[in-house]
Amino acid sequence: MKQDLSKKLFAEAQTLVPGGVNSPVRAFRGVGGEPFFAQRGKGSRIWDVDGNEYIDYVCSWGPLILGHAPAAVVKGVAKAARDGLSFGIPNPHEVRLAKLVREAFPSIQKLRVVSSGTEAVMSAIRLARGFTGRSMIVKFEGCYHGHGDSMLVKAGSGALTFGQPDSGGVPAELAKLTLTVPFNNRVALEHMISIHRDAIAAVIVEPIPANAGLYLPKPGFLEFLRKTTAAQGIVLIFDEVITGFRVARGGVQELCGVRPDLTCLGKIIGGGLPVGAFGGHAHIMDQLAPLGPVYQAGTLSGNPVAMAAGVVTLETLLYGDPGLYKKLNDLTAELALGIAAAAKESGVPLAQNRIGSIFCNFFCDGPVTDYASAKRSDTKRFAKFFHAMLERGVYLAPSQFEVGFVSTAHTAADVEQTIRAAKEAFREL
């Protein structure tokens, strides 16, 4: 595969940008080699600057549930842009977006929009601290909640890929306020809460963790979180930055019926533009400035162009094809089953987890139920598989600890082509 232009750009980028990338996992360190540079995307496909074509299962790390450059979203963005790129005073798109989110998430009475998932989580944590007057936070090992200081403790995603679940530059005094427990472990959480009960402001969780690969909550675990936190006046935060509008319109909370106090959103709600949001009960949200004492702000928060992309995307998901999520689910199941069968044929041990249109292939025997079992994966074997797939025109996430996403633009033909590539790739391992 010719990658001359990508190589040239990456060499130049490395002299200008740390590691040549503006977000670490993009550097392909988890799989070796160098990243390609994207030129164009349409539907399920990306073309790189050298003209190579890939079926894309990264989907910009989750936002592109409608695929690349969907006509309706591009049209909405273009119209909003023509009307003005930014105002710094309220615009109608902000109200529309908040209404659409509230329609899908009954636990959200009020919503504040920011510009990334990281910002949403940082703000939600400050709000929980301000609301409770407490300072400690409990998170789960391997869950990733963006790169805010308090959240880079036993974190997943890039932090895990690079073996840096605890980041440099986070003061020990601050990290001490973040307590971690294994996911799916009730006893560990109860113990932690019994020691620090009056000091814990919030428990934050990815209700379906998707940043150390993918694994699912045990039956009753999320209900247990709700009951335990409510009993102690602890704010329960669901980080649905990945899962919101992805596993169902109303995220994991729609699937399990558990209502958190606060929810963090991002990715899909921006339709591919930089948007995050956090929301929940009005009596908590109204602690935010200008109504309350907890300060939070943003020059570009609620940017009209980004809001327009989000609004069209959410309208499509809420009022478009009623069978959309079922179709996504069925196509992803077909893909996962095909890959599993191909691995079996070649005698490659593969543990698969899947929910809706999110999938993960762990290169180990199953089951994978938490961070510890995810780490048993053979990351070298994954890297070989990744490159064998890329050479065959299939772009998977460049790390064992990231997941794959299917969009409404993916087709049965894409899935067939991917399974054919996987058969060949497994044979090469």
Ligand X SMILES: Cc1ncc(COP(=O)(O)O)c(C=O)c1O
Report, as residue numbers or ranges, the catalytic residues: 144, 239, 267
63 binds ligand X (CB under 6 A): no
Minimum CB separation of residue 407 from ligand X in Å reads 17
| Residue 262 is a binding residue for ligand X (CB under 6 A) | no
Q: With CB under 6 A as the contact rule, which of the stretches 24-32, 110-118, 288-296, 380-388 interacts with ligand X? A: 110-118
φ, ψ for residue 270, nearest 5 deg: -100, 0
- Residue 371 in contact with ligand X, rule: CB under 6 A: no
Give me the least distance between CB of 405 and ligand X, in Å please. Answer: 11
Interface residue with ligand X, options 48, 206, 261, 414 (CB under 6 A): 206
Is 253 a residue that touches ligand X (CB under 6 A)? no
In this complex, which beta carbon is closest to ligand X, that of residue 117 or of residue 213? Answer: 117
Tokens encoding 252: 């994991």
Min. distance of Cβ 360 from ligand X in angstroms?
13
Site for ligand X in 145-174 (CB under 6 A): 145-146, 157
Query: Nearest to ligand X by Cβ — which residue?
Result: 117
Minimum distance of ligand X from residue 96's CB (angstroms):
21
The answer to whether residues 419 and 338 touch, using CB atoms and an 8 Å cutoff, is: yes
Q: Residue 70 or residue 272: which is nearer to ligand X going by CB?
A: 272
- Residue 134: CB minimum distance to ligand X, A: 22
Task: Select 125 or 294, whichever has its Cβ closest to ligand X.
Answer: 125
Q: At its nearest, how many Å lie between ligand X and the CB of residue 312?
A: 19
Selected binder of ligand X within 116, 313, 377, 408 (CB under 6 A): 116
Using CB under 6 A as the binding rule, whether residue 266 contacts ligand X is answered as yes
Q: Would you count residue 377 as binding ligand X (CB under 6 A)?
A: no
Q: Kindly state whether residue 112 participates in binding ligand X, applying the rule CB under 6 A.
A: no
Smallest separation (angstroms) from ligand X to the CB of 411: 26
Please identify, using beta-carbon distances, which residue of 41 and 272 lies nearer to ligand X.
Answer: 272
Kindly tell me which residue out of 211, 229, 303, 361 binds ligand X, with binding defined by CB under 6 A: 211
Name the one range near ligand X by CB under 6 A: 10-18, 213-221, 234-242, 346-354: 234-242
Nearer to ligand X, 213 or 276 (CB): 276
Contact 119, 275 (CB under 8 A): no
Using CB under 6 A as the binding rule, whether residue 241 contacts ligand X is answered as yes
Secondary structure of the chain as H, E, C letters:
CCCHHHHHHHHHHHHHCHHHCCCHHHHCCCCCCCCCCEEEEEECEEEECCCCEEEECCHHHCCCCCCECCHHHHHHHHHHHHCCCCCCCCCHHHHHHHHHHHHHCCCCCEEEEECCHHHHHHHHHHHHHHHHCCCEEEEECCCCCCCCHHHCCCCCCHHHHCCCCCCCCCCHHHHCCEEEECCCCHHHHHHHHHHHHHHEEEEEECCCCCCCCCCCCCCCHHHHHHHHHHHCCCEEEEECCCCECCCECCHHHHHHCCCCCEEEECHHHHCCCCCEEEEECHHHHCCECCCCCECCCCCCCCCHHHHHHHHHHHHHHHHCCCCHHHHHHHHHHHHHHHHHHHHHHCCCCCEEEEECCEEEEECCCCCCCCHHHHCCCCHHHHHHHHHHHHHCCEECCCCCCCCEECCCCCCHHHHHHHHHHHHHHHHHC
Residue ranges in contact with ligand X by CB under 6 A: 61, 116-118, 121, 144-146, 157, 206, 211, 239, 241-242, 266, 276
